[in-house]
Structure 1
Amino acid sequence: MKSKRVVIIGAGAAGVAAATRLLESGFENVLLLEAENRFGGRIHTIPFADNVIDLGAQWCHGEQGNAIYELTRGLDMLRPSEEIEGGFKCIRSNKEVVDDAVVEKLRSIILNLEPTHQDGLKDYEGSLGAYITDAFWRKLEALPDIDRVLAREFFENGKKKLSSMDGADNLFEVSGKGQHEYLDCEGDLHLYWKGKGFGSFLRLLMKANQDDPSDLGLLNEHIKYNARVEHIDWQSSKGDIRLRLWNGELILADHVICTVSLGVLKDIHQKLFTPTLPLAKCRAIDGLSLGTVDKFFLEFKQPFAPLNWAGFSFLWQEEDLAELRNSGNYWLESVFNFQTVSNQPRLLQGWILGPHARHMETLAEAEVLDALLWLFNKFLTFEVPTPVRFLRTRWYTNPNFRGSYSFRSVYTDELRTSSSDMATPILDERDGKPLLQFAGEATHPHFYSTAHGAVESGWREAQRLIAHYQEHNSHSQK
């Protein structure tokens, strides 16, 4: 174990979890190759405004059965997120603020339609969008006093929010029965990281000094940044795995754990691996889906007014939406809400998803900000000051990510593939040792799309290697 060369591709949550577990278990020759100039992957905490912000994973989703929550229990790292609980306003494109009582009735329908509450999805052969649409209008029949035009506007916004939870472009590409593969962890689903962001959890895994950014704890001397892997020959004539980096550097390994995002694998797996991956693995990469969800952060001199709003959602009236779609700002249709941010009183955070998010990423930052200010003026009755700072994420156009997080699509069902096909290692035919292993949120059977799923997948692959050598050592001692 001390001499075996283990290379982990990607220093995100899965890679850091795998590396730290291996190092703690006696492996010494462990190297993390990271294409970015930082660790974290889709966990990316940066200083901003009065504190920090998370450009990627933001909340700890749940408590019971959540590995991240279990590790931080008693360490005073997490708090409930006030901005998620109520106080959201729904505003129509004619500046009308919808009555709170009406919003509550409509929201109760949407909440009851969340996939985890729908036993009928277990054997449903259609998309989540088809199922939810039918169920929404049936349940609305019990509320004859609700205006149907308003209800449609609300539902269109609600579908965007549900799509963002899956990371899908729209609900009609999401598998209905596939929703029951995903498991929510019981407890608060929106725990935030006080003043240090999600990155503080990775530093906890690394046993790094939280107050010294240069300290990587267990991973000191084990991470190589700006190290994009161009090619992996996993059946070389000399018996070791040969990795070539973008700059021509050659690295030899006995084992490789690949934790890059599903989006990157979709882009480059056919040219990355020699020989090509087994058919079941290729089918899983093709069949599992990865969408785009991006964020906007606007910093103001003073807390955003009105102060008693936790956030606001945009409800487009039909004639205004038609006009928007014929304008250069058509992509604003997929900006579904803005909200306040815990521990950041001067910030507004917004959300956009799907193909419109991918288009937004190609625009100049100033153009994006101008469009968002136009959107505010379109919907709000009060004047919105010019922010002192603006930031948007670009997860899709970054070649090291190519999207946000994975989901199970109708196409996944058609190909009869699953995360288990993604997670299955490629073994050496001679002695059964793991050669190529795969980790990351997309490989987790129940917690895909989450940071805790990524962490568990990294531990899974580390444990696979640990178990292999424990068995090997026990046989050699007999």
Structure 2
Amino acid sequence: MKLERCIVDTSAVDSTLECPKVVIVGAGMAGLSAADWLVRCGITDVTVIEATDRPGGRIQSCWLDGSVVELGAIWIEGACPANSVFNLACREGLIVKEDNKWKGEATSIYTTSQGGEISPLVNNTAYHSFKLIEDQAAELYGNANTDFGSLEDFISERVQQELKVFPENSRYDAARAMTGMTNELRTHLGADLKDVSANMYGSRSELPGGRVKVPSGMIGVLAPLIRDLPECIIKYRKPVVKIMWEAELKSENQSGSKRKEENDVITADYVIITASLGVLKKKVDELFVPSLPDDKKVAINKLGFGFVDHIFYKYKGPFWPRGEGSVRLAWSKDELTERSSDWLRSIGAWEEDVEQEGVIALRVAGKRETDCVEKMSNKKLMEEAWRLTRTFTGDPLLTHPVAAICSKWSSHPFFLGAKSYLAVGSTVADQLALGAPVPSDPCEIPALLFAGEATCPGHHATVHGARLSGIREAERIVKLTERLRGPPRDQKETLRLSA
């Protein structure tokens, strides 16, 4: 007799159990992944509260004169089955060919502010020297016996050592190329390298497969997460004002659950908080009643949150052959010392979007620089782009772009920055502390759970890190529900959100 194989979903909660009520703060990748996982496991009493009028958080695809551009996350970092965001994109048919992969700096030319091009031989040698330095910086992770200070300290010293290997007649160009690479690393991290921990630089795991873009827009990876959620589960334009989480706060005058009469009060058994680290840094003392434990607040303060903006320009009749429009900017060290007076000097490259004809992108990093560009009109941004491209090509007759758009992550009150990094003085232990539930005592039932890319050691500052963290906290609730045989008792009456 033929036996049919029985597949049992071991992650699903016993259907006879009462579901806990879960509120998720934030409809970004972490929040939506948590909601999707909970619903798939049979916990359906879920509400997602989103402060803005859209899902996605720091994923934001939009149109620029008929072209799709990414104001938020641009890449899926790690085009392989080990990356669940890559798997989402593949299942949706969003990634269909290898051409979407990032080619990297090695395939680009480096030009100077005098409009000259650094020779390919010097360029390639400098590139490989700098990559060696980056690899050596990454290897510092785990060396607890020596404090190497900031990433700037380590890289600057190693660059000077590597430059001595170059022939004297090419040393100046090699220095400019590596200074440009240092500047581009700054835009990738979103922080001045003097603020980034050298010891912790290698803590992030790189998934194989390289970076890959979603040509139709990164927002598409959210579709399978939203599609199967119960109707009206996401509440938009609902910024959270207060979260009351301790059992002792039972009286209305203590709870602080209403700041204004029109605020909604929502009760819950568990709250998953996916607010950005930037928001937590600013509002940690006013958002939670009572205050969060000291170790949580210390972690929030010690970890770094970077400032990055993307500016996209559209050209009619672009000045480059398609596929050859990316240019790396080889600033001199002296030019970068004047960065505070000219935001363009924080630019490491302009990059062609090969999937969108006539589009180039700039990345701006640093609080001062992002504050500057976020206040500019699109007309001013286009004038500045023309100034930059004219300077580095040496061609005074280049056309102006016809359209521009700039992200505003630094000034947006619900983000206050772009992505986390391990600052000087912080460690992976701070990421773990940030992601720990509250209360964290194993003998107590947690009320507050924390997700988001900054809580995911090894994968911080990535979309898949955000997704992993959301699933992690959803699974924590699933296991608690199984252990408690339902929701926690008496917690719902005291765990309140005012939105």
> Does TM, normalized by the shorter one, top 0.5?
yes
Q: Distance between the aligned counterparts of 2:437 and 2:265, measured in 1?
A: 23
Looking at structure 1, the residues matched to 456 and 195 of structure 2 have their Cα atoms a distance apart, in angstroms, of 20
Residue of structure 2 aligned with 1:84, choices 94, 103, 107: 103
Instruction: State, as a whole percentage, how many aligned pairs show the same letter.
Output: 27
Q: TM-score, normalised by structure 1?
A: 0.88
One of 131, 134, 139 as aligned partner of 1:119: 139
* Alignment equivalent of 1:452, drawn from 457, 460, 464: 464
- Answering whether residue 439 of structure 2 is matched by residue 421 of structure 1, we say no
Find the partner of 1:6 among 22, 44, 50: 22
Contact 1:243 1:250 in 2 (8 A): yes
More off after superposition, 453-462 vs 220-229: 220-229
- Cα distance change, pair 454–326 in 1 and its aligned pair in 2 (3 A): closer
Larger mean CA deviation between 58-67 and 425-434 belongs to 425-434
Name 2:36's counterpart in structure 1.
20
Residue in 1 aligned with 2:198?
Answer: 176
Q: Which amino acid aligns with 1:296?
A: I
Give the structure 1 partner of residue 416 of structure 2: 402
TM-fit CA distance, 1:22: 0.7
Which of 328, 339, 351 is residue 313 of structure 1 equivalent to?
328
In structure 2, relative to structure 1, the CA distance for the partners of 1:223 and 1:242 (3 Å cut) is farther
Please point out which of 231, 234, 244 is paired with 2:245: 234
> In structure 2, what is the equivalent of residue 29 of structure 1?
45
Aligned residues: 459
Residue 110 in structure 1 maps to residue 130 in structure 2: yes
1:346 and 2:358 matched: yes
- Take 1:227 and 1:445, find their aligned partners in 2: how far apart are those partners? 29
Seen in structure 2, the aligned counterparts of structure 1 residues 122 and 150 have a Cα distance that, compared at 3 Å, is farther
| Aligned residues of 2:64 and 2:405 also touching (Cα < 8 A) | no
Q: Distance in 1 between matches of 2:89 and 2:372?
A: 38
The alignment partner of 2:82 has SS state of coil
The 8 Å contact of residues 89 and 220 in structure 2, kept in 1 or not, is answered as no
The letter of the residue matching 2:466 is A
Cα distance change on mapping 1:296 and 1:419 into 2, 3 Å: same
* Corresponding residue for residue 3 of structure 2: none
Cα 1:172/1:84, change in 2 over 3 Å: same
**1:131-167: CA deviation from partner (whole Å, max 9, x where unpaired):** 1122222223322255333233222211121122322
User: Kindly tell me: are residues 326 and 366 of structure 1, through their superposed partners in 2, closer, same or farther at Cα, counting changes over 3 Å?
Assistant: same
Structure 1 gap segments, 5+ residues each? 209-216
Distance 1:5 1:336, change over 3 A: same
Partner of 2:401: 387
1:70, CA displacement in angstroms?
A: 3.6
Which 10-residue stretch deviates more, 310-319 or 400-409?
310-319
Code of the aligned partner of 1:359: C
Is residue 2:166 matched to residue 1:143? yes
Shift of 1:64: 5.4
Q: CA deviation at 1:316?
A: 3.0
Superposed displacement of residue 25, structure 1: 1.2
SS of the residue aligned with 1:16? helix
| Structure 2 match to 1:469 | 481
**AA in 2 matched with 1:375:** L
**What is the alpha-carbon distance in structure 2 between the residues aligned to residue 475 and residue 57 of structure 1?**
36
* 1: CA distance, partners of 2:334 / 2:419: 34
Partner of 2:11: none
Determine the structure 2 residue equivalent to 1:214. none
Are 2:65 and 1:55 aligned?
Answer: no
Counterparts of 2:75 and 2:268 in 1: how far apart (Å)?
35
Match of 1:167 among 172, 183, 190: 190
Please name the residue that 1:212 is paired with. none
In the alignment, residue 473 of structure 1 is paired with which amino acid? R
Distance 1:112 1:326 in 2: 29
Separation of aligned partners in 2, 1:119 and 1:87: 25
What does residue 193 of structure 1 align with?
214
Superposed CA offset, 1:349-401 (max 9, x none): 11111131232223333223222222222222333222221101111000110
- Partner secondary structure for residue 485 of structure 2: helix
Return the match for 2:446 from 405, 430, 434: 434
State whether residues 192 and 342 of structure 1, in contact with CA within 8 Å, keep that contact through their aligned partners in structure 2: no
Contact kept, 8 Å, 1:304 with 1:347, in 2: the verdict is no
Looking at structure 2, the residues matched to 293 and 230 of structure 1 have their Cα atoms a distance apart, in angstroms, of 26
Corresponding position of 2:295: 280
Secondary structure, aligned partner of 1:114: helix
Say whether the 8 Å CA contact 1:83–1:311 is kept in structure 2: no
* Pairs within 5 Å for 1:322-341: 330-341=342-353
How far did residue 311 of structure 1 move? Answer: 0.7
The answer as to whether partners of 1:233 and 1:243 remain within 8 angstroms in 2 is yes
The match for 2:58 among 42, 50, 62 is 42
Aligned counterpart for 1:221 among listed residues 226, 232, 253? 232
Counterparts in 2 of 1:119 and 1:239: CA distance versus 1, 3 Å:
farther
The match for 1:211 is none
Letter of the 2:244 counterpart: D
Alignment pair present for 1:375 and 2:388:
yes
Task: Say whether 1:68 aligns with 2:85.
Answer: yes
CA contact (8 A) 1:66 1:185 kept: yes
CA shift, 1:68, in A, is 1.6
Provide the C-alpha distance between the structure 2 equivalents of 1:367 and 1:474, rounded to a whole number of angstroms: 58
3-state DSSP class of the match of 1:390?
A: strand
Q: Secondary structure at the match of 1:151?
A: helix
Counterpart amino acid of 2:464? H
Q: Which has the higher strand share?
A: 1
How do residues 293-312 of structure 1 correspond to structure 2 at under 5 angstroms?
A: 293-307=308-322, 309-312=324-327
- SS of 2:229's equivalent in the other structure is helix
Q: Name the SS for the 1:155 alignment partner.
A: helix
